[in-house]
Structure 1
Amino acid sequence: MRASRLLSVLLLLQAHGRLTAADLATRLEVSVRTIYRDVEALHAAGIPLYGEAGHDGGYRLVEGWQTRLTGLTAEEADRLLFAGLPGPAAELGYQSVVAAVQLKVRAALPTPLADRAARLEQRFHLDTPGWYSDGDPSPHLAEAAEAVWREHRIRVRYRSWRGEVTRVLEPYGLVLKGGRWYVVAARPGRAEPATYRVNQILDLTPLDEPFDRPDFDLPAWWNAHVVAFRAGLHRDEAAVRLSPHGFARLREIGSDVVVAAAEASAGPPDEAGWVRAVIPIESLTHAHGDLLRLGAEVEVLSPEPLRRRLTETAAALTALYPSP
């Protein structure tokens, strides 16, 4: 553990040029006193490291000196995929390993490329959760990831739309989609896998039962799954009238499929600027909730059950908020 930390001290100084003991302690999550002891150990090992006093002081390596002890461990190599995904890496419990990967890769780069990597890090940031979500925390995400890696079965108690179910699963992989984690898994004896949202796993028990993972292409399977999901999503349609503001709002909050359909079917505006259009809908319940977001800027013309639901909601709102 200490040897790894000493190497990290060297790599940090090599990458940043000068760091104070407090900077190093913060980055390595140890005390300043521990950093002092580490620096003494590096001096004793003959590393050309010196300290500068004062406000702009800190530790530096002698100019031109560079360590080549930057080889990745097996675990670090495994986590290399997450080097640009700090949020998901932290959710999976890989944060410290990924930080070590980034440090070693940067230290191994020639100075011009290391400077470019540093600029890139300061100019581009990937934040996977949506605006109104802090991600998809789950106490069982790390266990699911471990089972995927080890190719061992798991028993889960899962909250599905039908209610709670218990399943034994063979997890093939994990997918992060829109800030939400999904495990793609098959049930023993069934060839076709399915998706399970990790956040809906109520209980997970690792089983000491290895399984033979088939020749399974996770990205290709997921892409096909998304295409099939979208194709079966909109099974009906609704005729609507949209105000100019309502149409603009629809472009902001509607899916690409809905917006494209509305734009393709929109007729000429009437005297008030409203237009008629036909949009695909998933179900009456989903359409009711989605169209309520447009408020009084949309009128549903058909189907009648959807129009009736919105009429009832409008009446209930009027009763709840009567005019003064």
Structure 2
Amino acid sequence: MRASRLLTILMTLQSRELVSAAELARTCQVSVRSIYRDIDSLSALGIPVYSEQGVNGGYRLLDGYRTQLNGFSKQEVETLLMLGLTGPAKELGLAPAMSEARLKLMAAIPAELRSHAERFQSCFLLDSPGWFTEGETVNHLPELFTAAWQKNQIEFDYQSWRGNSHRVVNPLGMVLKAGAWYLVAQPQDRTLDQARTYRVGRIRELKILNQNFELQVPFDLPAYWQESTRQMEAELYPNTAIIKLTAKGLRMLPGLSPPYVRQQTHIAETDDTGWTTVTLPSGNTEQALFEMLRFGPEVQVIQPEALRQAMSNVIGMMRGYYGEDESPSSK
């Protein structure tokens, strides 16, 4: 265990300019006193670790010091290979670098793990678009990635359902979700906590400006994405619907409900007639109507009244389509 901890400390110091003893203790899940002893051990082994005193002090390695550590475990090799997702890397313009990185990784790992790594690559494939859909063909991905990495301000025309608009933003990061790429950025006239999400496929006329930006505080892309996704789902389903489902309808419910709706759904007991009352989030009447129609005859809408009336109207129209006298071909 201690050898593994020493390796973790060394790799952390090698990847960071300055690290406090408290940070190392949290990373290694030990006491600060244990970190002090570990630093002494590293120094005794000839590792050039230096301490800086003061409130913002900590430990650092001698500038330029690097060590070759090839002690990969099988799980570590598998994890690194999974990071090399060739599809997204190619779209971002990183395919040559990814190929070189794979070659270097294969050369660095012990010989006994090399065949295992090659077999692992043949057993894992990422196909990110959902079934019966295609990944978007988008422009500007390499340029956007470079701008976000180098903190270059950008401007572009954006085409949304509201219309076309011109945007000047600070690009903060890129997200690949279900085969679609998104840009997370801070609009020029907003603060960092008012960052926005833009679908890359809707970006037109991109221009990278000769203007760098600096963030006053770090931006947590995963945390932002998780929270913005939660907010978007809540905005899509602001209302509540009460329905009744047959046993078949109950079996269909999980597959027809997105995760947010599933988490907020309440299922009551089944009554004597075989119908089960279900309370669940719903969108506007038009959206909820479409979702209810997917259940076919396995659903009854109880509330709201507007949705119940919309279901009645649509079912009446559909019945007319298949009547002998009112079919579309007879009109």
Normalising by structure 2, what TM-score? 0.67
Alignment partner of 1:224 is 2:237: no
Contact 1:238-1:302 at 8 Å conserved across structures: yes
Distance in 2 (alpha carbons) for counterparts of 1:317 and 1:205: 50
Preserved contact between residue 171 and residue 183 of structure 1 (Cα < 8 Å): yes
Residue 206 of structure 1: CA displacement?
2.0
C-alpha distance 205-294 of structure 1, shift in aligned 2 (>3 A): same
The one-letter code sitting in structure 2 at the alignment partner of 1:307 is: R
1:258 to 249, 257, 261: 261
Aligned residue for 1:129? 129
Instruction: Classify the secondary structure of the residue corresponding to 1:186.
Output: strand
Distance in 2 between the 1:84 and 1:177 partners?
Answer: 17
2:251: which partner in 1?
A: 248
Instruction: Give secondary structure in 2 for the equivalent of 1:130.
Output: coil
Quick one: distance in 2 between partners of 1:164 and 1:256?
31
Is 1:200 matched up with 2:202?
yes
1:166-185: per-residue Cα shift (whole Å, max 9, x none)?
A: 11111111111222211111
Indicate how the Cα distance of structure 1 residues 142 and 291 shifts in structure 2: closer, same or farther if over 3 A, else same: farther
Residues 254-277 of structure 1: per-residue CA shift (max 9 Å, x gap): 123433444x33232443x22111
Relative distance call for 1:320 and 1:90 in structure 2 (3 A) is farther
| Alignment-derived partner of residue 321 in structure 2 | 320
**Preserved contact between residue 83 and residue 99 of structure 1 (Cα < 8 Å):** no
Structure 2 distance, partners of 1:118, 1:199, is: 35
Give, in angstroms, the shift of residue 229 of structure 1. 3.1
Q: Could you say which residue in structure 1 is the equivalent of 2:269?
A: 267
CA distance in 2, matches of 1:283, 1:208: 44
Q: Whole-Å Cα distance in 2 between the matches of residues 260 and 221 of structure 1? A: 20
Letter in 1 for 2:291: D
Cα 1:319–1:156 change in 2 (3 A) is farther
RMSD (Å), alpha carbons: 2.4
Amino acid corresponding to residue 292 of structure 2 in structure 1? L
Partner of 1:183: 183
How big is the shift at 1:228?
3.1
User: TM-score of the superposition, structure 1-length normalised?
Assistant: 0.68
Matched-pair contact (CA < 8 Å) for 1:92–1:141: yes
Query: What runs of 5+ residues in structure 1 fail to find an aligned partner?
Result: 1-67, 69-79
Cα distance between partner residues in 2 of 1:112 and 1:240: 60
Q: Please report how far the alpha carbon of residue 295 of structure 1 lies from its aligned counterpart in structure 2 after TM superposition.
A: 1.8
Q: For residues 139-178 of structure 1, what are the structure 2 equivalents within 5 Å?
A: 139-178=139-178
Distance across 2 between alignment mates of 1:92 and 1:82: 17
Structure 2 equivalent of residue 106 of structure 1: 106
Number of aligned residue pairs: 244
Contact persistence 1:83–1:98 (CA under 8 A):
no
In 2, the alpha carbon distance for the partners of 1:237 and 1:149 equals 43
Counterpart Cα distance in 2 of 1:188 and 1:155: 10
Partner of residue 44, structure 1: none
**Would you say the 8 A contact 1:91–1:137 is kept in 2?**
no
| Alpha carbons 2:236, 2:283 under 8 Å: kept | yes
User: Structure 1 316/205 Cα, relative in aligned 2: closer, same or farther at 3 Å?
Assistant: farther
